[in-house]
Structure 1
Amino acid sequence: MDGELCDGWVHSLSGQTLCFTGRVLIDGEWTVRKDCREMAEQCGANWKPDFSRKITVFVHGDLASQAVTDTQREYSQKLVTAADWRDRGHHVCVVDGDGFADLISGHAARCRELQRAQGSDDHVLVLSQAGDGILGGPLQRHRVGRHEPGALALDLSRLDKGTEAHESTIAALIEHLARQHVELRGHARNAPRFDAGWSRGDDVFIAEVKSLAGAREDQQIRLGIGQVLDYAHQLQLARTRGRMRPVLVLEKQPTEPRWASLAEASGILLTWAPNFAGC
């Protein structure tokens, strides 16, 4: 990764060389450096006690959104060094405790942005983002398999059609948002399992995607409304960062116009392929 910028994510620990702060806050528990090293090694990573040009990921623990002001402390010195290296074109990924927990669980982690405090060269900010704790890594379209005919009494041809429509709708939404330079993402590791999400400013959109092929339209829409309202309620109770915007995404325009007024009355953005109005 020497001299190159990452794509905003650390996708795996395998092959990485890590440097840690003294302790790391993982899912609310302080974890000492020795245990962090063992976890990283089990995932195929190496580690170094100090910064060198071999370091590819710095795990900074609990410092997200905090200014680092004491340059004599070890973690402060390392963050300042990481910022210096970035300024010189040698990109070092920085992840927090939640990101490290994501990585050891097999999930992608956001590479954190660093920012100099105004008027200072030795004070560094580790920036948080809307959607932290809600949105996970970049969402990819999944390939849809086929079932053997007659394998089950259920009409699997209709099930396959519905699944293909679901994945095609997600793929179209990925392309639609990408044209606006917005990344479609999955759910965070400990968040409700919504289908897709994205952020704009302080707004965090969480979406349930429903196909209308091979199923009763009213049944699918009612199910989607209930699911996305439940997800939004859970996240609001958890007091996650960002203003929650529940979205129901359909593969096509519903035949009955009443669903638009019901969604609006429920605080849900109702949209559908191919234009995804409002998204």
Structure 2
Amino acid sequence: MSAMAGRSECDGYVEDLQGRLVLFTGKTRIEGKHVKRDELFQTVRKRGGLPLAGTRNRNVTLLVLGELSEDVVTDPVNLRSQNVVFVDAERRRGNHICIVNDRGIAALLSGESAPCLRSRMIHADTVELSLPTPMRPTSPRLTPLTVGATPEHKPTGLDLDLSGLDRGTSAHQATLALLVAHLAPVPAMGLTSPRVDAAWRSPDEPTVLFVAEVKSLTGARQDQQVRLGIGQVLDYVHALRERPPAHVSVISPVLVLEREPEDRRWLNLADSLGLLLTWAPRFPGLRG
């Protein structure tokens, strides 16, 4: 590899926009709607990216191809294709620049990863693009948490979807709001998958992620709600341990109740499962 070589080839996926120098070429459409550059630039900056308003250069780390499907062969006459030819040449020199299409940038702007398109020179000035293979599942990602929008849990498999008992209730939202306030300044987050009520990183060790299920006890059998909450949060944690978010190595389950449970046996059960059981408004055992 020559002295001009730069970034090594990626694993086929762009994880996020953080710190990336982004060049747009062609019109970008998200969900079929054309998005103006100034709007795109603003959103990219919010995701930690650095949009490039000028021309292409070898410091670019991500090229966004507007209005281009995965299997299109580029036309070297127009500017968009000239950028593709440039990026492919940089790749062959050992300086890997990632390429995404409209669908890919839409995923990145929503906090998900996106496939980096492969490129192949098929003529002197014509490049063929294709999706990476094989496709890998998208890793869960932390997302901003909006109190007031209760996550939709998947059905439990019972005849009655018990998770619906507290979905959208004022007690559930009030408890969640109190939890968010208790954790501050540590930010409570959501996850792209599974749809947990709240998640947050440990202030002492960022690789530790706490995952919480919130259960209201108003208008429902208390033992039924606690039992359901334990099952749900352990299910979420099991899934996340199999495929954790980026930079997370430890997943810790937390069950948050609207108030202290009447039966103290739930505390012993939770402790035996390695689960923190806590409740509003003081959240005992949970550092704030």
TM-score tier by shorter-chain length is: 0.5 to 0.7
Distance in 2 between residues matched to 1:161 and 1:58, nearest whole Å: 33
Match in the other structure for 2:174: 168
CA RMSD of aligned residues (A): 4.4
- 1:254 maps to 2:254: no
Moved more, 264-273 or 234-243: 234-243
Q: Letter of the 1:192 partner, please give it.
A: P
Cα deviation, 1:59-97, whole Å, max 9, x if unaligned, reads: 8x9x9xxxxxxxx7332599xxxxxxxxxxxxxxxxx99
Q: Percent identity?
A: 37
Partner of residue 136, structure 1: 143
**CA offsets, 1:230-270, max 9 Å, x none?**
00001111143421011100000000111111111111111
List alignment gaps of at least 5 residues for structure 1.
Answer: 1-23, 49-53, 64-71, 79-95, 111-131, 144-158
For residues 119-134 of structure 1, the aligned pairs below 5 Å read 133-134=140-141
TM-score by length of 1: 0.52
CA contact (8 A) 1:102 1:109 kept: no
Distance 2:280 2:37 in 1: 46
> Which of 199, 204, 211 is the matching residue for 2:216?
211
Q: Aligned match of 1:56 in 42, 47, 57?
A: 42
TM (norm. structure 2) is 0.51
Corresponding residue for residue 227 of structure 1: 232
Q: What are the residue-to-residue correspondences of 1:80-99 with 2, within 5 Å? A: none
Q: Is the 8 A contact 1:162 1:212 kept in 2?
A: no
Name which of 31, 36, 40 aligns with 1:46: 36
Conserved 8 A contact 1:103-1:109:
no
Asked if structure 2 preserves the Cα contact closer than 8 Å seen for 1:26 and 1:101, the reply is: no
Classify 1:75/1:168 alpha carbon distance in 2 versus 1 (closer, same or farther; 3 Å).
same
Cα distance in 1 for partners of 2:270, 2:27 equals 48
Distance 1:203 1:172 in 2: 22
Question: How far 1:197 sits from its partner (Å)?
Answer: 1.1
